[in-house]
Structures are given as structure tokens and as C-alpha cells.
A = this chain, B = another copy of it.
Amino acid sequence: MMRIGIDLGGTNIAAGLIDDGMEIVAQDTVRTPPGADAIVNEMEVLAHSLCSQAGLRLSDIECAGIGSPGAIDPREGMVVYSNNLNFRNVPLAVMLSHRLDMTVHIGNDANVAALGEFHAGAGRHISSMIMVTLGTGVGGGIVLGGRIYDGFNGMGGEVGHMAVVKDGEPCSCGRNGCWEAYASATGLIRMTRSAISRNPDSLLKSIAIDKGKVSGRTAFLAARRGDAAGNEVVEKYLSYVACGAANLINLFQPEMLCFGGGISNEGQYLIDRMLPMLEPELYDVGDRRTRVCLAELGNDAGIIGAAMM
């Protein structure tokens, strides 16, 4: 039977109709309106749109799932809070369930994307996986035995909020030295700006001027063209990525650790440069080692994972 997967973002709501083979057979996207009621309205419209694309009725759909930013209580169908959406204790899944007259699950967006990758992407045919999303922040989802691992209260798996530099850079969560403060695009941009100011004659600076801004791509572009300042930033940034990844592997020994999110668009170059930094950090476990790779599904992971909850 078909399921509906909804990826709720701060900017857009993307929804898809997923078949038993975990393929997206219909898809639609709208801008995210302000407020919970308006969001639920748009989700209902999306559900009808997907059904009409596929020639189905809503009653033909098995269930729906929502991946939402923020702290989620999956058992209560509740967004406990989300800075992005300006939500506190919003029973989003319950509200949508009443509208669609079907079961609606909800989970944290990073967890849900990991579930999608596990079932239909990089994690097919393995037993356990951690997906790390290197985006504006650092998110993560832990999948053990085919299910999201989220702790006794549904809020575990905050891989970005593991301190790797005690008393280090301030993080958006209020803590200092979190992995997110270094391994996110935000952290990379901070390192890039600092290198630009120290290297005014570098290609790194020229690229930033050409593009009109410093982004998470600037240092990678410069490094790929052989610029020393860009290379230094990439080296430093990836050493932080490797540090947190090694922590996760030493703790969880998952069969796979995969990277998604905007920075992972650097592709195999990112993995190939990071692995030599990662390996010496790993606890010696003999031959059965975690495979480190890229996520495969991109934005589809959130939609497929939401449907698979």
C-alpha cells in the first residue's frame, strides 16, 4: 500500500507518495506558511494533490509520516519545540491525523532522513547506520536494527551537540565546543573568513569576492584549485569532521557511517581527504570496521524516511 512522507522544513514542505518498493511515485512542494494551523492546511492540500496525481483516494493510503525540525516527542505526536518553526508543544501529527483520518507518525527530520537512507539509500542491506548531515548545523540520525534510536524520551541522537572542544566555540544550543560549532557549514564559513583575513592575496579571497559571499563551498573550491589558504581551511575543517566521526564510531560501532547535508555535495573528495585523518583516531577493533561513505538519496531521504516510520 502507498504511504505519504512529508519533509517539513523552515522554507518548504516537500511531500511524496511512496510505494512498497520505497520509490517516490508522486511528489509536490509548497512554501512553509507561518503557524501550525496553516502548516497542517498545506499538508492536507499536499496529501490530496499526491493522491490525485496517482489516481488514488485518501482512503487508499496506509499512513503518513512527518519529519520535522526541532525536538520531537514521537510517542505523543508532538513538536516539543522548534526554533525554526517557532513551535512549542504543537501536536502536529495528531492535528494532521484528524484532518486525513489516518495514522500520522512524526520524528525529528535528521532521524527521519537517516531512516530513509537506511531503507532505500546507502544503508540498504546493512544492520546499523549513523547518518550525519553536514548543513547549516550538524544533525544526525542513528538507526539500530531497522529502527530510529532516539533514547527513552524520543530526543536522543543529537550528534551535533557532543562537545569535541571543551569550552570551545559557542554553539546555537547554548553549550560551548559542540561538534556542530566546527563541522557545520557555519563553522566552515567562520574558518574560511578567518583564513581570508589572514591571506589577503589568496585565491580563496578572490573566489569569495567573485561569488559575492563566503559560503560552505568557498574553501573547497579554492582547495581543489590548489590554493594553499583554501587547502588549510579544508584540512582543518575535515579534521573536526573526523574527530566527531571517530567519537561516534568508538561509541556505536555502527556498520555504516554516512554523510549527507549540503557539505556532502563535495562528494568523494570529502571522504577521500577525511579518511586518512579518521583512521588513526579509531579504537582498534580488528578487521570488522565501520564503513564510511556518502548518503545517496539527497532530499528524498526525508520524504522516504517519513513514510517508513
Contact = CB atoms under 8 A, between A and B. Distances in A.
Interface stretch (A14-22, A146-154, A191-199): A146-154
Interface string A138-151: 00001010000111
Contacts of A166: 164-165, 239-240, 243
Q: A151, A159, A290 — which one has the most chain B CB atoms within 10 A of its CB?
A: A151
Nearest to A129: B152
B155 A251 contact: no
A95 B162 CA distance: 41
Copy count, this protein chain: 2
Contact of A252 (B128, B151, B250): B151
B280 A174 contact: yes
A247 interface: yes
Nearest to A176: B281
Interface in A247-293: 247-248, 250-255, 280-281, 283-286, 288-290
Contacts of A254: 151-152
Contacts of A248: 251
A286 B250 contact: no
Contacts of A162: 162, 247, 250-251
A155 B81 contact: no
A175 interface: yes
A175 B245 CA distance: 13
A158 interface: yes
Contact of A153 (B73, B153, B157, B285): B285
B164 A80 contact: no
A127 interface: yes
Nearest to A140: B251
A1 interface: no
A112 interface: no
Interface string A179-196: 000000000000000000
Contacts of A240: 166
11 contacts: A71-B285, A127-B152, A144-B149, A152-B253, A157-B251, A158-B251, A163-B243, A165-B165, A165-B166, A173-B283, A247-B247
